[in-house]
Amino acid sequence: MATIKPADLTSHVGKEIGLSDWIKLDQSRIDQFADVTEDHQFIHLDPERAAKETPFGGTIAHGFLSLSMLSRMAMDIAFVLDGMAMGINYGFDKVRFLVPVSAGKQIRGRFVLEDAVERQPGQWMLRFGVTVEIEGEEKPALIAQWLTMQVVG
């Protein structure tokens, strides 16, 4: 994991920070997510019915499953500020689900540091533009503006 000095953050704003590894969203992972979130809609769990009754040709991952994988993707590209005591997920300014992810497809995240602001001494709010790509697809699964806070001290 790379370490960046807070004074150097502004030189990274507007630049791609990294591209995560591919992560497979297979039916087993989709089923587990359905159980945890209690979202058992057939478009996620019943391949035969989803093939017959939807335009997707089979089951698709929950949009929130694709979104939740950002935490895992961020580990591939993460940097920490020199002296960081903790990092906090601060939420999202924007999330748009663009294309459903078919069961068995792989996704990855492309991260751009859009902004870095010291909100209080030692508290850095970072805004990342994230695009979740689908292997073999032209359009992404989702785009998001993700906020994190790194506390130095």
The pLDDT of residue 35 is 98
**CA–CA separation, 147 and 53 (whole Å):** 37
What pTM was computed for the model?
0.93
pLDDT digits 0-9 by tens, 57-106 = 999 999 999 999 999 999 999 888 999 999 999 999 999 999 999 999 99
**CA–CA separation, 87 and 103 (whole Å):** 32
For the segment 35-52, the average pLDDT, to the nearest whole number, is 98
CATH code of the domain containing 20: 3.10.129.10
How many Å separate Cα 8 from the centre of its chain? Answer: 25
Q: Is residue 56 part of a domain?
A: no
Q: How many domains would you assign to the chain? A: 1
Q: Is residue 13 part of a domain?
A: yes
For the segment 119-144, the average pLDDT, to the nearest whole number, is 97
For the segment 38-43, the average pLDDT, to the nearest whole number, is 98
